[in-house]
Amino acid sequence: MASSVETRVRSRPRPMARAKSLRRSVETLLAHADVKIGGERPCDIQVHDERLYARVLAEGALGLGESYMDGWWDCERLDEFFHRVVAADNLQKPSRAYEVGKRHYDIGNDLYERMLDTRLIYSSGYWKEATTLEEAQEAKLDLVCRKLELEPGMRVLDIGCGWGGTARFAAERYGVEVVGITVSEEQARYAHDLCRGLPVEIRLHDYRDVAEPFDRVLSLGTFEHVGYKNYVRYLKLVRDSLKQDGLFLLHTIGGNRSVTRANAWTERYIFPNSMLPSVKQIAAAIEGIFVLEDWHNFGADYDRTLMCWYRNFEDGWPELEDRYGERFYRMWKYFLLSSAGAFRARSTQLWQIVLAPRGVPGEYSSVR
């Protein structure tokens, strides 16, 4: 009996041996992405706490993100780290609709005023001919308006209107009337002030609360918060809000694979109750509700947009530091640069989809 117990004790891995084994496991995973632990390149990671390996192997994306926030590891170029890792392929109910507004968009307008362009457009710019973030965002807004074939006097619904920049642009440049809806109290207040004096009405509404006709509907960066179980209902509600000769522009981030929720870190810290739709999920939801007129992918532009946001965030941090603190800084930096890396690796896309209730008579002329 004693011999048997002794054998079992000797067979248990010692703490130091286990730690080395865990490190080797992580090193092997990172090697597939050409990333080294303790390497000298900007994409390599520097580990400050050896507990990192067990945490990442046990918790995946959540452990990786939280350990970065806790200061357990660093990387000079997080965007390049994630570009490599993602490219290597390693790693809702109505009652909850307002949660993302409270936990993300209501953080504070001061943060977004320093990070975004002057219109506070919180979606990718269009860089085809632009050289600055300001130009890219204006080009994107104009692209949206041209795809929708806006004309003076049209009534437009802006689902997820943000801080009102899109509604104001459409009203000023194209002479349309806009109803903008948002689930963020901070955004609603800001947008109301921004659009004062224009034919723009801002409402603190969920998309399910709209029941009136519009000539055009646009949705920039809202579909990511709808949830796959609600796609069909969302599209039916949009169609019910559209006149029969209307157009709907759906602008959404998308993924290459069908999923049913975001990764655990993003879900907990950035966008609660969110997920990225796939081509398959969107196409299935469209069927029998809309005619697909145009599908435009310019996901690579989001990488450039996010890097501009990150530089603005870094430049503005001295004015934000006292209010938000170091842990928030590391969280937000991780969010922006990991997202840029994912778009750079082309595992994440940005789509603009034009839909019509019955199809455009003759044909729809695609706009680029």
Termini Cα distance of the chain: 79
pLDDT tens digits, one per residue of 130-169: 999 999 999 999 999 999 999 999 999 999 999 999 999 9
Chain centroid to Cα 159, Å, comes to: 16
Mean pLDDT of 298-304: 97
pLDDT at 101: 45
256 CB neighbour count, 10 Å cutoff: 13
Mean pLDDT of 117-130: 97
- What is the radius of gyration, based on Cα positions, of the chain? 23
CB neighbour burial string for 135-171, b if at least 16 within 10 angstroms, e if fewer: ebbbbbbbbbbebbbbeeebbbbbbbbbbbbbbbbbb
Task: Please tell me the pTM assigned to this model.
Answer: 0.85
Q: Which of 1-5, 63-67, 187-191, 328-332 shows the lowest per-residue confidence on average (mean pLDDT)?
A: 1-5
The CB-based long-range contact list for 279-285 (8 Å cut-off, 24+ gap) reads 279/254, 281/228, 281/231, 282/231, 282/250, 282/252, 282/254, 282/351, 282/353, 284/231, 285/231, 285/232, 285/234, 285/235
pLDDT tens digits, one per residue of 181-238: 998 888 999 999 999 999 999 999 888 888 899 999 999 999 999 989 999 999 999 9
Q: Which of 282, 276, 167 is nearest to 216 (CA)?
A: 167
Q: Assess whether pLDDT exceeds 60 at residue 93.
A: no
pLDDT at 88: 86
Q: Assess whether pLDDT exceeds 70 at residue 288.
A: yes
Model confidence at 95, in pLDDT bands (50, 70, 90)? very low
| Mean pLDDT rounded to a whole number for the chain | 91
Are 64 and 40 a contacting pair, CB within 8 Å?
no
Are 193 and 168 a contacting pair, CB within 8 Å?
no
Q: Assess whether pLDDT exceeds 50 at residue 289.
A: yes
Are 257 and 235 a contacting pair, CB within 8 Å?
no
- At position 155, the amino acid (one-letter code) is R
The pair of structure tokens assigned to 192 is 């109301």
**Residue 130 backbone zone (phi > 0: left; psi -120 to 50: alpha; other: beta):** beta
List residues bridging with 219 in a β-sheet: 159, 250
Separation of alpha carbons 340 and 303, rounded Å: 4
**Using CB atoms within 10 A of its CB, is residue 361 exposed (0-12), middle (13-18) or buried (19+)?**
exposed
Q: Assess whether pLDDT exceeds 70 at residue 345.
A: yes
Residue found by looking up tokens 């009203």 in the block: 171
Identify the structural domains of the chain with CATH numbers, from first to last.
2-87 (no CATH), 94-356 (3.40.50.150)
